[in-house]
């Protein structure tokens, strides 16, 4: 039982087919690109409006809290 679980976990992390590895890399690069844009746009807007670095930090904090609440609500189990 333990070996089967370990093998399945290994197959999940290191898939054998090249196309699934490429798809995994594409999804990771898409997540990183969206994250970079998500940091660049608020920074640019805040500095364009003449805000200070503390305002940018506050915007990052609000953005990260909103993202955290959103992802927590996605992974919450459904109890009727």
Q: Which 8-state DSSP code applies to residue 70?
A: H
CA dihedral 58, 63, 65, 69 (to 10 degrees): 160
In this structure, is residue 25 part of a structural domain? yes
Instruction: Give the domain range for residue 41.
Output: 2-74
User: Is residue 61 in a domain?
Assistant: yes
At 44, the pLDDT band (50, 70, 90 cuts) reads very high
Contacts of 38-43 with C-beta under 8 Å, sequence gap 24+, read: 38/63
Look at residue 79 and tell me if it is in a domain.
Answer: no
Per-residue model confidence as pLDDT tens digits over 1-42: 556 556 556 666 665 666 666 666 777 788 788 888 988 998
CA distance 8 to 14: 10
Model pLDDT for residues 27-36, shown as the tens digit of each residue: 778 878 888 8
Residue 34 resides in a domain = yes
The DSSP letter of residue 46 is H
Number of domains in the chain: 1
In this structure, is residue 80 part of a structural domain? no
């Amino acid at each position: 039982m333990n070996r089967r679980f370990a093998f399945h976990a290994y197959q999940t992390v290191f898939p054998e087919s090249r196309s699934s590895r490429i798809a995994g890399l594409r999804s990771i690069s898409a997540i990183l690109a969206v994250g970079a844009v998500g940091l660049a746009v608020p920074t640019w807007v805040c500095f364009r409006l003449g805000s200070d670095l503390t305002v940018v930090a506050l915007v990052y904090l609000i953005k990260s809290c909103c993202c955290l609440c959103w992802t927590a609500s996605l992974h919450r189990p459904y109890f009727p």
